Homo-oligomer: A and B are copies of this chain.
Amino acid sequence: MSMRELERLDVEAVRKDFAILSRTVRDGRRLVYLDSGATSQKPRQVLDAEREFYERHNAAVHRGAHQLAEEATDAYEAARETIANFIGASSGEVVFTKNATEAVNLVAYAMSNAATAEPALSRFQVGPGDEIVVTEMEHHANLVPWQQLCQRTGATLRWFPVTEDGRLDLTDIGELVNERTRVVAFAHQSNVLGTVNPVQTITARAREVGALVVLDACQSVPHMPVDVGELDVDFLAFSGHKMLGPNGIGVLWSRRELLEAMPPFITGGSMIGVVHMDRSTWAEPPQRFEAGVPMAPQAVGLAAACDYLTSIGMDRVADHEHRLTEYALDKVGSIEGVRIVGPTETVDRGGAVSFVVDDIHPHDLGQVLDDRGVEVRVGHHCAWPMHRKLGIVATTRASFYLYNSFEDVDALAEAIRDAQKFFGTRP
């Protein structure tokens, strides 16, 4: 950050763009939405852009030659360009999927498809003796697809352990990532712990052994400036719905050269070169990976979300969340009987704050919070093995976004104390 401090984000102004934030819940309580890690709310600019597409330009993209089809195709491809710019990529490197989960599966299935295909695809092939490395803090979306790839191909899954304080244990990286490793897949930022992982250290080792690097950026792209040019990974996956965009759209980014070499995943219309009854060839990327009529209105909505975030500035969004997180770690962490799960300092840490409260099960805690209008998530947050490793069944997670205010954190802290009173675990 420059000398001049970053101008602060105007939360009240931002909140006006989100109609849902002015509704009440449970007997007229103000909605305190602290579940953006699961899905974000959408500003009217995004909803308007999507609706405008439907009401003015709707047609099947890349399939028609009439004016509506032209306009729809233009809108779709312009959206791709905007989204590519948002992550410092070029548009030919951005593939649209339905969510990040599909994006990770796309890579994992392309790899097992390569296993039964021509030898030219050997860089994507895995089999017995090969290893795939993940981490113990992965979301199921970046774990189960790799388990399944191993199951289909006979490769072996290995993983970085998580330390007690919620960081990756890289002690054995030299052994764990070795010449048998074909893929290293990990989260940029943990959706439970908030931990921002050391991309460069891991990527550097992966490069030494020639492994492909898959980065789950679901919790980073929405919350901090991300530039694929700086990251030096091979694949990057994220979801639109977590970054103010519509549901039903996700992104797989990869280097052009890799996409050009990679076999397809879902097959059907619009992804083909030539089709005969018994064989087909493929279109160039990104089309090769976008079979069927795509989610053009959602792409347009996601581009509007990128524009919205850009107009505020991702630096500013990150700064705002950083301050909220600092405040929450302090406010919530200092309540007697509350323990933060994950790093307690804001270094290399984003705005997912998970915690346990002595003698109150997260489900029961969540119920009291909900009764106070405070909407958090309880459970294992699709990171079950990590909870098991930390010896916890479930946690309560508050996660922030640009529309959250310091009062939201106050409401959270107060509701936690209410729950302690309600269940009689604290006076």
Contact = CB atoms under 8 A, between A and B. Distances in A.
B275 A384 contact: yes
Contacts of A69: 35, 38, 375
Contacts of A275: 140, 143-144, 384-385
Contacts of A38: 59-60, 63-64, 69, 293
Contacts of A113: 148, 152
A249 interface: yes
A54 B47 contact: yes
Contacts of A55: 19-20, 47
Contact of A147 (B59, B140, B279): B279
Contacts of A67: 25-26, 370, 375
B145 A268 contact: yes
B68 A382 contact: no
A378 interface: yes
Given A147-B279, A298-B247, A384-B274, A35 B98 contact: no
A303 B283 CA distance: 34
A95 interface: no
A43 to B, nearest CB: 10
A101 B268 CA distance: 6
B249 A140 contact: no
Bin the interface of chain A by size: 35 or more
Chain copies in complex: 2
B66 A270 contact: no
Q: Tell which of A51, A63, A267, A291 has the most Cβ of chain B within 10 Å.
A: A267
A266 interface: yes
10 contacts: A20-B56, A25-B67, A38-B63, A66-B369, A69-B375, A99-B292, A113-B152, A144-B272, A248-B298, A270-B382
A160 to B, nearest CB: 11
A117 to B, nearest CB: 7
A116 interface: yes
- The secondary structure that dominates the A interface is mixed
Interface string A259-288: 000000011111010111111100000000
Given A136-B277, A141-B269, A144-B268, 17 more contacts: A25-B67, A35-B60, A59-B375, A65-B366, A67-B370, A98-B98, A98-B295, A102-B266, A140-B268, A143-B277, A144-B272, A147-B280, A246-B248, A246-B297, A248-B249, A268-B382, A270-B382
Contact of A59 (B39, B157, B294, B388): B39
Nearest to A290: B101
Contact of A104 (B42, B249, B268, B388): B268
A43 B379 CA distance: 39
A203 interface: no
Contacts of A144: 267-268, 272, 275, 280, 291
Interface of A: 19-20, 23, 25-26, 31, 33, 35, 38-39, 41-42, 47, 51, 54-60, 63-69, 98-102, 104-105, 109, 113, 116-117, 136, 139-145, 147-148, 151-152, 157, 159, 239, 241, 246-250, 266-270, 272, 274-280, 291-298, 363, 366-367, 369-370, 375-379, 382, 384-385, 388
A15 to B, nearest CB: 14
A141 B269 CA distance: 5
A64 B147 contact: no
Nearest first, the 5 closest Cβ-Cβ pairs linking A and B are: A101-B292, A248-B248, A141-B268, A248-B295, A101-B268
A99 B148 CA distance: 23
A360 to B, nearest CB: 14
A152 B239 CA distance: 29
A417 B41 CA distance: 52
A51 B279 CA distance: 42
